[in-house]
């Protein structure tokens, strides 16, 4: 295929035909129309949902402007995270340094907004001009008496994944400012949920399940996040990690620091959601009541969902899907969910999957499935046409491309407007792909494609 970039040979894999290890976590080939973003973007999306913190972007205006309220991470209370604060660095700052401007900005913002913590994001330029962001932050922290945490997210220092890592480091610093609370005997087990961002209110759905199981959710990192809850995160007995790419680093660090075990889960799809709940229940064997409650919860949810999903399956069976998402772990859930609905996945990939994740993906995929790492639009659209894809599951940059090709689309990225997590999320997912796949607009295009409708 001519649209394949040579350096990407080992980032495109066809199951049943190729037998090499997919090379992952490679820097994108210069000149490719990559769908990936930068380190800053990775940090920003992870920390963004912390609603009572002030997020100050230290850099030229663009970095702040493009990340202003673009993520549907809902808050049940404060909404400080939805504003855009920037030091708006100008030419003179690049020459003389931006530390003063950063200091002044913080000194002005903190008394005005009274945030519970501040995150200061370093952008490309800050890394180059060498501002000592760390020093400014600790100075202001001492003067104002609140946590002012630098996020070392200079855009060029790696990939989006390194941004996740920088965000995890920042979170770890915040958690370390918390205190240990002695636990009362007989109180409910406490867990944290990592890598859940409350898009379209998904955290609330998940929280509700655990509550019904008799589990207390301590902190959600970072969906509907609050500084104080995050500070207490080290008091939990278990961390469950969703969206493996972003918060696994934190889970590992917390295990090392406080011995808190973690389990990787997913809330996308019926099976994965059920298994996420059972995984937690099994972690508290001394408390058999939890397992009982979990069983009855899952049973009741499934008996509600099955008949509805069965109806969708009738229309969806035999359709072919492409899944291209940020992290690979989510793609696994998508694969299972789509299979459940009778849809086969013929193309799948991610922006930032790891080599191990791709091995797993190979295992799960049907023969003939094409797997791509860090793909680009021309590659994706060529495969879509070649493989006869009917439905694309992806994000903002893929949506119009899919529509132009005349195929259905489901947004499974941060712009989604409907909750896709949990049992009810699966119903929404089925409904959304059903609506898109069965839309009459595709027939209109087909008519145009087959015969010029205005030709007499």
Partner 1 sequence: MLLRHTPAEVAERKALTINPAKTCQPIGAMYASFGIHGCLPHSHGSQGCCAYHRSTLTRHYKEPVMASTSSFTEGASVFGGQSNLIAALNTIFTVYNPDVVAVHTTCLSETIGDDVTQIKKKAFDDGKIPEGKRIVNVSTPSYVGSHVTGFAGMCAAIAKEFCVPTEEKTDQINLIPGWVEPADMRELKRLMKEMNVPMVMYPDTSGVLDTPMTGEHDMFPKGGTTIEQLETTGSSFHTFALGKFGSEDAAREIQRIAKTPFDVMDLPIGIRATDRFLMKVSEITGMPVPDSITDERGRAVDLIADMQQYFSGKKVALFGDPDQLFALTEFLLDIDMKPVHIVSGTPGKYFSQKMSEIIDDEVPTANYRNGSRADTFLLHQWIKNEPVDLLIGNSYGKYIARDEDIPFVRMGFPIVDRIGHQYFPTVGYSGAIRIAENILNALMDRQDRDAPEERFELVM
Count the neighbouring beta carbons within 10 Å of the beta carbon of residue 90: 12
Does the N-terminal peptide bond of residue 222 adopt cis geometry, omega within 30 degrees of 0?
A: yes
CB 394 within 8 Å of CB 325? yes
**Which is closer to partner 1, CB of 102 or CB of 205?**
102
Of residues 316 through 355, those in contact with partner 1 by CB under 8 A are none
CB of 425 to partner 1, least distance (A): 24
What is the helix (H) or strand (E) element at residue 242, kind and residue range?
Answer: none
Q: How far is CA 16 from CA 183, 215, 348, 387, in A?
A: 53, 44, 15, 15
Per CB under 8 A, does 11 bind partner 1?
no
- Least gap, CB of 170 to partner 1 (angstroms): 18
- Please list every residue from 393 through 412 that binds partner 1, using CB under 8 A: 396-397, 399-401, 403-406
Q: What is the DSSP letter of 296?
A: H
The sign of the dihedral angle between the CA atoms of 169, 174, 177, 182 is negative
Smallest separation (angstroms) from partner 1 to the CB of 194: 24
Residue 32 CB, nearest distance to partner 1 (Å)?
6
* Residue 33 makes contact with partner 1 by CB under 8 A: yes
- Contact pattern for partner 1 over residues 356 through 395, marking x by CB under 8 A: ---------------------xx--x--------------
Map the footprint of partner 1 across residues 35-74, applying CB under 8 A. 35-41, 59-68, 70
Give the 3-state secondary structure of residue 344: strand
Q: Which 179-218 positions form the footprint of partner 1 (CB under 8 A)?
A: none
Rounded to whole angstroms, the Cα distance separating 17 from 368 reads 7
C-beta atoms surrounding 419 within 10 Å: 24
Which of 93-101, 243-251, 276-284, 285-293 is the region at the interface with partner 1 (rule: CB under 8 A)?
93-101
- Kindly tell me which of 80 and 335 has the beta carbon lying closer to partner 1: 80
Q: Closest approach of Cβ 30 to partner 1, in Å?
A: 4
Pick 281 or 401: Cβ nearer partner 1 = 401
Rounded Cα distance, 206 and 276, in Å = 10
| Minimum distance, C-beta of residue 58 to partner 1, in the bound complex (Å) | 10
Q: How far is the CB of 14 from partner 1 (least distance, A)?
A: 19
Q: Binding of partner 1 at residue 146 (CB under 8 A)?
A: no
Give the nearer residue to partner 1 in terms of CB position, either 43 or 235: 43
Closest to partner 1 by CB, 128 vs 142, is 128
Rounded CA-CA distance 203/234 in Å is 20
Strands 370-373, 12-14: parallel, antiparallel or unpaired by DSSP?
antiparallel
The yes or no reply on residue 25 touching partner 1 (CB under 8 A) is no
Residues 194 and 240 sit within 8 Å (Cβ to Cβ): yes
Which residue in 168, 177, 158, 160 sits closest to 116, CA to CA? 177
List 9, 79, 134, 359, residue binding partner 1 (CB under 8 A):
79
CA angle 270-275-281, nearest 5°?
A: 135
Size of the site for partner 1 (CB under 8 A): 83
Query: Which residue among 9, 16, 21, 100 contacts partner 1 (CB under 8 A)?
Result: 100
Among positions 134, 143, 156, 282, the unique one binding partner 1 when judged by CB under 8 A: 156
Q: What share of the chain is helix, strand, coil (3-state, %, to 5)?
A: 50, 15, 35
Shorter beta-carbon distance to partner 1: residue 94 or 355:
94
Going by C-alpha positions, the residue among 429, 423, 426, 425 that lies closest to residue 212 is 423
Subset of 114-143 contacting partner 1 (CB under 8 A)? 123-125, 127-129
Tokens of 308: 């509805």
Minimum Å gap between C-beta 122 and partner 1 is 12
Cβ at position 128, least distance to partner 1 in Å: 5
Window 257 to 286, contacts with partner 1 (CB under 8 A):
none
Cα separation, 275 vs 279, whole angstroms: 6
């Amino acid at each position: 295929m001519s649209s394949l970039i040579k350096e990407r040979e080992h980032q495109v894999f066809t199951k049943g035909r190729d037998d090499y290890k997919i090379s992952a976590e490679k820097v994108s080939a210069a000149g490719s129309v990559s769908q990936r973003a930068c380190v800053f973007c990775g940090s920003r999306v992870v920390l963004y949902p912390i609603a009572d913190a002030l997020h100050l972007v230290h850099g030229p205006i663009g970095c702040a402007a493009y990340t202003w309220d673009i993520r549907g991470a809902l808050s049940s209370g404060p909404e400080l995270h939805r504003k855009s604060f920037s030091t708006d660095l100008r030419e003179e700052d690049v020459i003389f340094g931006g530390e003063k401007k950063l200091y002044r900005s913080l000194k002005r913002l903190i008394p005005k907004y009274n945030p519970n913590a501040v995150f200061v994001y370093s952008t490309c330029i800050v890394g180059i001009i060498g501002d000592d962001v760390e020093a400014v932050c600790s100075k202001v922290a001492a003067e104002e008496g609140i946590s002012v945490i630098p996020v070392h997210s200079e855009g060029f220092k790696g990939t989006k994944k390194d941004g996740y890592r920088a965000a995890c480091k920042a979170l770890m610093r915040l958690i370390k400012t918390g205190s240990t609370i002695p636990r009362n005997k007989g109180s409910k087990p406490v867990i944290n949920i990592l890598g859940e961002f409350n898009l379209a209110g998904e955290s609330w759905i998940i929280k509700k399940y655990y509550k019904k199981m008799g589990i207390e959710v301590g902190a959600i990192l970072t969906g509907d996040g609050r500084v104080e809850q995050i500070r207490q995160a080290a008091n939990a007995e278990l961390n469950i990690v969703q969206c493996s790419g972003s918060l696994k680093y934190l889970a590992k660090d917390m295990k090392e620091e406080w011995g808190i075990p973690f389990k990787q889960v997913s809330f996308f799809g019926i099976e994965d959601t059920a298994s996420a709940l059972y995984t937690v229940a099994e972690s508290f064997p001394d408390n058999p009541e939890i397992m009982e409650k979990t069983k009855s919860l899952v049973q009741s949810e499934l008996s509600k969902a099955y008949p509805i999903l069965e109806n969708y399956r009738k229309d969806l069976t035999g359709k072919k899907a492409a899944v291209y998402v940020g992290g690979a772990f989510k793609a696994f859930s998508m694969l299972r969910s789509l299979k459940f609905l009778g849809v086969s996945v013929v193309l799948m990939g991610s922006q930032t999957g790891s080599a191990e994740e791709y091995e797993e993906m190979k295992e799960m995929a049907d023969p003939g499935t094409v797997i791509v790492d860090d793909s680009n639009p021309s590659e994706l659209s060529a495969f879509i046409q070649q493989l006869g894809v009917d439905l694309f599951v992806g994000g903002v940059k893929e949506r119009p491309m899919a529509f132009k090709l005349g195929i259905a689309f489901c947004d499974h990225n941060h712009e989604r407007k409907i909750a896709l997590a949990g049992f009810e999320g699966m119903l929404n997912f089925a409904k959304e792909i059903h609506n898109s796949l069965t839309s009459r607009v595709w027939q209109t295009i087909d008519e145009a494609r087959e015969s010029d409708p205005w030709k007499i």
